[in-house]
């Protein structure tokens, strides 16, 4: 059977997903960098209390410490992020880029945020994202003047947990800084075959029905446990065979269809690897409690393709794989067959056979 959903729904779903800047060399003391930058950036009086709040200060310090690469020539600390907060005369805005505060101002109007959660500022027009990324000219001009042509936009205060207030900006910045720049610009730091328009987002979710046991098996052995990885692969492959035999396919927004295996590879690359660049790197840095990581990976997810790729990357990292080398190899691939799926199976065989 074919699960068909209009291409427009895939684009709308893209908005609900919770141009690579030049890396900036950091000094050994990242926190000192932040303090020095704050000394040279004038903070508007009505924004000083927000900027100096303990939670926001800790968030900036943690982000600046994440200077190990999560992707080719890119670390979480390289993210360009604009944090905003309501003020008495407008909206405080703080531009963070390359591990430092770059600018602060009071905007007359707020940025446009998807569902009030986050927003994107990108330097491309005439794309399928146009209707989603429109931002006030005042904001765009201010960011450009401060030396960046893109940013991820987040409120300083939100209902998210402290972990998610750090994880989500990094995750979304990876979309903006790495993936979108490869689709519309000249960046060669993302797989040429990978785009969310290659398979319908909403229909892809149905492929994972009955797949919770396979992910649980892998999460139970994230420290490079071979029986856990083997169990995951066995259960996943059995599910995919059953789906193929039943004729389950996923439509492409512009027409045609893909197998569940192909659709999963596409969306796991898009969202799962952004999770690796955020939560995976926070885990590496010891900023995530084991219980928090397990809870995230095992949560019943509205979009289940986030979790498997993150779990596979963590397993390979903890098993001693050269993850940086694997990333470089993945970027060079031009075939969907050589996705993270393929690399994980190869690494399991290398470590466990």
DSSP notation for 75-125: -GGG-EEEEEEE-SSSEEEEEEETTEEEEEEEESSPPP-BTTTBEEE-S--
- Measured CA to CA, the distance from residue 194 to residue 281 in angstroms comes to 22
pLDDT at position 323, please? 93
Residue 71 DSSP symbol: B
- The DSSP element (H or E) to which 36 belongs, if any, is helix 30-40
Tokens for 233, please give them: 């692969």
| Stated pTM of the model | 0.87
pLDDT at position 39, please? 58
- Interhelix angle for 323-332 vs 340-352, to 10°? 140
302: nearest Cα among 202, 213, 232: 202
Tokens for 147, please give them: 């030396």
147: nearest Cα among 64, 80, 74: 80
Q: Under a CB-based contact definition with an 8 Å cutoff, are residues 165 and 58 in contact? A: no
In 179-322, which residue ranges form alpha helices assigned H by DSSP?
180-184, 201-207, 212-219, 226-246, 260-267, 273-275, 281-284, 290-298, 306-318
181: nearest Cα among 73, 254, 285: 73
Going by DSSP bridges, is the β-strand pair 151-155/2-3 parallel, antiparallel, or unpaired?
unpaired
- Measured CA to CA, the distance from residue 261 to residue 7 in angstroms comes to 19
In order along its 353 residues, the chain shows pLDDT tens digits of 333 333 333 333 443 443 333 333 334 444 444 445 555 899 999 999 999 999 999 999 999 999 999 999 899 999 999 999 999 999 999 999 988 999 999 999 999 998 779 999 999 988 888 877 889 999 999 999 999 999 999 999 999 999 999 999 999 999 999 999 888 887 788 998 888 778 888 788 889 988 889 999 999 999 999 999 999 999 999 999 999 999 999 988 777 889 999 999 999 999 999 999 999 999 999 999 999 999 999 986 777 889 999 999 999 999 999 999 999 999 999 899 999 999 999 999 999 98
pLDDT at position 302, please? 74
320 dihedral zone (left: phi>0; alpha: psi -120 to 50; beta): left
Is the four-CA dihedral 34, 35, 41, 46 of positive or negative sign? positive
- Interhelix angle for 340-352 vs 226-246, to 10°? 140
3-state secondary structure of 74: strand
Tokens for 129, please give them: 């994202």
Q: Map tokens 């466990």 to a residue.
A: 352
């Amino acid at each position: 059977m074919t699960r068909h959903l209009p291409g427009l729904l895939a684009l709308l779903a893209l908005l609900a997903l919770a141009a690579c800047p030049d890396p900036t060399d950091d000094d050994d003391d990242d926190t000192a960098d932040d303090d020095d930058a704050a000394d040279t950036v004038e903070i508007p009086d009505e924004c000083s209390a927000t900027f100096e709040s303990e939670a926001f200060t800790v968030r900036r310090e943690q982000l600046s410490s994440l200077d190990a690469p999560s992707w080719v020539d890119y670390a979480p600390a390289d993210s360009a992020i604009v944090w905003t907060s309501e003020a008495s005369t407008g909206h405080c805005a703080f531009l963070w880029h390359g591990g430092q505060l770059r600018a602060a101002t009071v905007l007359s109007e707020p940025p446009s945020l998807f569902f009030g959660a986050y927003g994107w500022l990108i330097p491309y027009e005439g794309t399928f994202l146009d209707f989603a990324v429109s931002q006030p000219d005042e904001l765009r001009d201010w960011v450009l003047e401060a030396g960046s042509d893109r940013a991820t936009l987040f409120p300083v205060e939100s209902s998210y947990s402290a972990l998610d207030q750090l994880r989500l900006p990094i995750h979304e910045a990876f979309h903006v800084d790495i993936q979108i720049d490869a689709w519309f610009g000249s960046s060669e730091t993302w797989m040429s075959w990978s785009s969310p328009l290659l398979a319908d987002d909403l229909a892809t979710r149905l492929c994972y029905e009955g797949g919770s046991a396979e992910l649980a098996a892998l999460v139970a052995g994230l420290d490079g446990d071979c029986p856990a990885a083997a169990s995951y692969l066995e259960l996943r492959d059995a599910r995919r065979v059953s789906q193929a035999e039943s004729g389950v396919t996923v439509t492409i927004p512009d027409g045609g269809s893909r197998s569940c295996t192909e659709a999963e590879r596409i969306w796991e690359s898009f969202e799962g690897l952004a999770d690796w660049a955020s939560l995976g790197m926070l885990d590496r840095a010891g900023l995530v409690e084991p219980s928090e990581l397990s809870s995230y990976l095992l949560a019943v997810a509205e979009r289940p393709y986030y979790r498997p790729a993150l779990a596979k990357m963590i397993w390979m990292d903890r098993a001693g794989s050269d993850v940086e080398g694997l990333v470089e190899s993945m970027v060079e691939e031009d075939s969907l067959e050589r996705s993270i799926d393929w690399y994980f199976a190869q690494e399991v065989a290398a470590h466990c056979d």
